[in-house]
Amino acid sequence: MQDTLQLSISKTPNSRVENLDYHNIQFAREYSDHMLLADFKGGEWQNFRIEPYGNLSISPANPAIHYGQSIFEGLKAYKHEDGKISVFRPKANYDRMNVSAERMVMPHIPEEIFMDGLTELLKLDHKWVPDVEGTSLYIRPFMFATDEFIGVRPSQDFTFMIITTPVGAYYTNPVKVRVETHYTRAVKGGTGFAKTAGNYAASLYPAKLAQNDGYDQLIWTDGQNHELIEESGTMNIMFIINDALVTAPTGDTILDGITRNSVLALAKDWGYKVEERPLSVTELVESLKTGTLKEAFGVGTAATIAPIAVIANDGIDYTLDESGRVFSQKMLKELTDIRLGRSEDKFGWNYFV
């Protein structure tokens, strides 16, 4: 086992990093020079390696393609002013990935494959971590089934990989969202808490309908009565109502976001009133009408904090005043400052490579 987990590194002779324009980075247009891979075969992890980024060759009978036995994570690396590179809370992503793996009948990923693999990959591709304000290197770990068998059953073989891509801002403008009361993202007993492929595939159609009507994203509500607020798109959602930070409790229909967790920890640390409780659409609309709702924002790795400008419900657009964005702006600044080493990292969130 020890021997088989030796990391072998094959470097590209043709780095593409010189073509990267650090001042003009959009979201995930180019992938870094290398990728990390490890295979789970015959009940063991093996073939732990870094290779030049490139296409894969897989069987047409691959069960991940047919049945979606596939999971992923998303995290970011930042370059500090002194040139050091840190990743934000990677151990939390590692733990969550194994939660997803268990739900999807996939093998536990050893910490050394995820953490040591990530560290070595970032050392090799450190030039791909951009240092311009608002940019970072997005890291995408994922694992998928690799059996050559189209019967429906859990695969026996899997591949774990990490690829990385420089990113700028995910949303460049405050977002317009619509409360979804027909389609459902996640149900009790389902897979909503796991970062697994099918959740995202199923969300594309309702999101597209909202986009056709001029909205950026949806606010998902509970699958039973469409009455409780759950998430927004692929972000957790938070509100400032009166003087409290309000967000839905996590459970099997809500993904346990690391950004969500970080925002709650900082808010509590600041002495802010935090309410993790169910929030109904009725209360949301009431607070929009009476003006007690001061801010609404999505929280997630890709966007960090995405201020919401418009919330639509039942055909009515409610506009949130830009001047109200006090908490979310302060939080975005603090998170950014911690990640870049400008503010004290009192929770030990930065992992240096």
Ligand X SMILES: *Cc1c(COP(=O)(O)O)cnc(C)c1O
Residues lying near ligand X in the complex (CB under 6 A): 74, 195, 231, 234-236, 255, 257-260, 300-301
Closer residue to ligand X (CB): 62 or 232: 232
Closer residue to ligand X (CB): 120 or 231: 231
Kindly state the smallest distance separating residue 345's Cβ from ligand X, in Å.
17
Closer residue to ligand X (CB): 284 or 302: 302
Closer residue to ligand X (CB): 90 or 257: 257
Closer residue to ligand X (CB): 191 or 287: 191
Kindly state the smallest distance separating residue 8's Cβ from ligand X, in Å.
30
Kindly state the smallest distance separating residue 246's Cβ from ligand X, in Å.
17
Kindly state the smallest distance separating residue 295's Cβ from ligand X, in Å.
18
Closer residue to ligand X (CB): 50 or 340: 340
Closer residue to ligand X (CB): 50 or 92: 92
Kindly state the smallest distance separating residue 112's Cβ from ligand X, in Å.
22
Q: What is the 3-state secondary structure (H, E, C) of the chain?
A: CCHHHCCEECCCCCCCHHHCCCCCCCCCCCCCCEEEEEEEECCEEEEEEEEECCCCCCCCCCHHHHHCCEEECCEEEEECCCCCEEEECHHHHHHHHHHHHHHCCCCCCCHHHHHHHHHHHHHHCHHHCCCCCCCEEEEEEEEEECCCCCCCCCCCCEEEEEEEEEECCCCCCCEEEEECCCCCCCCCCCCCCCCEHHHHHHHHHHHHHHHHCCCCEEEEECCCCCCEEEEECCEEEEEEECCEEEECCCECCECCCHHHHHHHHHHHHCCCEEEECCCEHHHHHHHHHHCCEEEEEEEECCCEEEEEEEEEECCEEEECCHHHCHHHHHHHHHHHHHHCCCCCCCCCCEEEC
Kindly state the smallest distance separating residue 9's Cβ from ligand X, in Å.
28
Kindly state the smallest distance separating residue 289's Cβ from ligand X, in Å.
27
